[in-house]
Every structure is written in C-alpha cells, then in structure tokens.
Amino acid sequence: MEILGPVLVSGLTTGALYALATLGLSLVWGVLGMLNMAHGAMLTLGGYAAYAVVTAAGWPAPAGVLAAVLAGAAAGVLIHVMIARPLVRRSPETFETSVMIATFGAAIALQNTILAVAGGQPLGQPLSLSGTARLGPLVAPWQNLLIIGVSIVLMSAVALYLARTRGGRAIRAVSQNREAAALMGVPAEAVYLRVLALSGALAGACGLLVSSLTQLSPTLGSEPMLKAFIMCVVAGLGNIPGAIVASFALAMIEALVQYHFGARWGFPVLLGIVILVLIWRPTGLFGRATVQRL
C-alpha cells in the first residue's frame, strides 16, 4: 500500500499533463491531418508568458493563466496563417510531410526566441501551491491535485464544446469529411484556424501546469511533446477519447516502471510500447483500419 500511494499520485498527475498535451496535438491531427512539431514550443511559450506577466510585470495570478492561454492561442493562429494555410492551399498531397518540416523549423525559431529573450537559466514558476493534502491513506501535494483538477476541467470543457456546440459540430464535420462539410457550408479554413487556436490555448495552459511542477526552461515543452506523440500513436492519431485513456494508462505504467526499475527506464519503456503498437496495430489500439481507394 505504501508503494501504491505515491505511484498513483505521480501517475495521475503526469497522466493529466500528458492528456492535456495530447488533446491539443490529437485535435489538430484529427481535423487538419497535420502533425504539429511546434506543439512543444507552444507549451514552453505558455509557461514563459505566465512567468512574464506574474513575476516580471507583477500582475495577479489569474492574469498569468490568461496570458499563458492567450500566448498559446496566438502561436496557434500564427502557425495557421504562416504555415498551415499556405501549405494546404498549394499542395494537399505533400501537406502531411511538408507541414511537419515547416512546424519543426517554427519550433526551433520559437524556442530560440524564448532563449534569447529570457535566457537559458531555469526559472521558478511563481504560480504554484505549497503544502500537501491528506486523503485517507493518500498524501498528495496540493499542486498535484490542482493539476489533476484543472486538466479534468479543461478536458471536459473541450469535450462539451466538441459535442454540444455549433462550432464543435463544425470541427467534427470537417474532421470526418472535409469536402462534404465544405459542401454543406462549413467554412473549412475558419475551422482550421479555430482548431489551431484551441490547440495552442490548451498547450499554453499545459505548459503553465508543467512548469509549475518543474522549472521553466526553453526546452520545457520538448519532453511532454514527445510523450504526447507516444500517446497519440498508441491511441491512434486523431482519436481524442483514446488519447486521454492512453495518457493515463501509460503514465501509470511509466510511474510503476520508474518506481521499480529506476527513473531511467520510464521513457525507453514507453518508446518500446509505441514501437510494438505501431508494428502490431499500425493505426493504434483504438484506431480503425481505413480502406484505401486507389
């Protein structure tokens, strides 16, 4: 039982963070068919935006949260206007690979802008709670509970938005069949813009949460992004509920492996799992095989 407590708390916390990072990535993949390599940089940007507003400008904490979300959303809009829109307009056939390379470049540029502005030294994120909570036999830091809570709220909000609103319906329609949706009068490009902004906002919030647990550094987002790739692939790219389940399940496995075999084996085991899943079920555990017409 003493083992189970810390593993459970750490697994749930990292699972919540992974799920949040994966949600944005998976949403963009599902709707635009684009693997956004700049997702990690958007996470980093969110963390730094909150730091800048709270520590440097001295504004209250809610302003910092807002800044993180807005900065992420702005980065998403920029990626749409500067990269995704011109590329998809020019040649939809090569979009899948060209957008990966272009966002890769954008990620490097963004990461190094942050490095040039804020410097490479790690900074402490001011937005964090101290102290621990006791829940029966479980002991959990308030910060971890906050992360789990915020993630669940954000994920529920996105789920409600997708399921119940007009805008969410448009997103799902475009994701299922772009041409048909466009013929029914759904403005596909506006939907793309909205999805990238939403994904950026989620990334910004996620970056703030990640940095509150560790520290701010220009490479903050790269590890969560790699983990998010893993979750996405295990679930099947674009499958949002599957990605969230996979995030929590794999975070638990990672926490268990790290507890039993040492911290260094956590990530390699996840990578091993994703390699096996790709070979065994190329479209992911929850993915459906698609029939290709020639």
Give the footprint of other proteins on residues 233-252 (CB under 8 A): 233, 237
**Residue 142: CB partners within 8 Å, gap ≥ 6?**
129, 130, 131, 132, 133
Contact status: 271 vs other proteins (CB under 8 A): yes
- Interface segment toward other proteins; rule CB under 8 A; list 128-136, 165-173, 198-206, 223-231: 223-231
- Interface segment toward other proteins; rule CB under 8 A; list 7-15, 133-141, 201-209, 261-269: 261-269
Give the footprint of other proteins on residues 128-187 (CB under 8 A): none
Give me the DSSP letters along 91-110: -TTTHHHHHHHHHHHHHHHH
For residues 75 to 114, the per-residue mask of contacts with other proteins, x marking binding by CB under 8 A and - elsewhere, is: -------xx--xx--xx--x-xxx-xxxxxxxxxxxxxx-
Looking at the DSSP assignment, which residues form a beta bridge with residue 138? 135
**Residue 114: CB partners within 8 Å, gap ≥ 6?**
41, 44, 45, 48, 218
Task: Output phi, psi for 134, to 5 deg.
Answer: -110, 120
* Minimum distance from residue 98 beta carbon to other proteins (Å): 5
49 or 232: CB nearest other proteins: 232
Q: Evaluate whether 22 touches 156 at the Cβ level (below 8 Å).
A: no
34 or 205: CB nearest other proteins: 34
| Region at 34 (left for phi over 0; alpha for psi -120 to 50; beta for the rest) | beta
Q: Evaluate whether 173 touches 184 at the Cβ level (below 8 Å).
A: yes
Coil, strand or helix at 134: strand
Which of 138, 159, 226, 253 is close enough to bind other proteins by CB under 8 A?
226
112 or 165: CB nearest other proteins: 112
Positions touching other proteins (CB under 8 A) are: 29, 35, 82-83, 86-87, 90-91, 94, 96-98, 100-113, 115-116, 222, 226, 229-230, 232-233, 237, 264, 267-268, 271-272, 274-275, 278-279, 282, 292, 294
